Structure 1
Amino acid sequence: MTDVGTLCWTELDTGDVAGATEFCRAVFGWGATATPYEGGTYAMAKPAGTTDEAAFGGLVPLSTGPGGGSRTALLDAVFRRGGL
């Protein structure tokens, strides 16, 4: 999604990536791809049955996300005229 003013990526910092991923599957019907890394597991959210190229967000462990670790946070990136 590259249209001006449209959501391009959203990220959830959570203490329970697996639980949040399962919640999103059950409630929203999303799919996810889990990618392990040194700080934990990053789960890319995408429409069910699609490839990673269709991903629109991610779920990341609290300790490695932008908030630095103590509480759940949701970060949205939106395209605007001239960049983010």
Structure 2
Amino acid sequence: MHAPIVARTALRTTLRRGATFEAASKRSFSSSQLVRSGDHGHHPEGPYHNLPFKVHGRKIPFVIPFSIFFLVPFLTPFGMAALAM
């Protein structure tokens, strides 16, 4: 039921702009020679390489700051309640 309305609206907008669907779909995309050549800017792939922090080979094991980051806000209300009693 709505297909003819949508088709008419699309036809009206393309005719108003002076471009047809075929002309709009024939866009040629290109890239520079630097981008096409080899591994320029290619990042390592695999587990843990997509993270913005270092997981392996740290001086402090990752689990310590991770645990502190999540446990302090979780335990704070319980500590405040214990002090209030």
TM value normalised by structure 1: 0.21
User: TM-score of the superposition, structure 2-length normalised?
Assistant: 0.20
Larger relative helix fraction? 2
Q: 1 or 2, which has the higher strand percentage?
A: 1
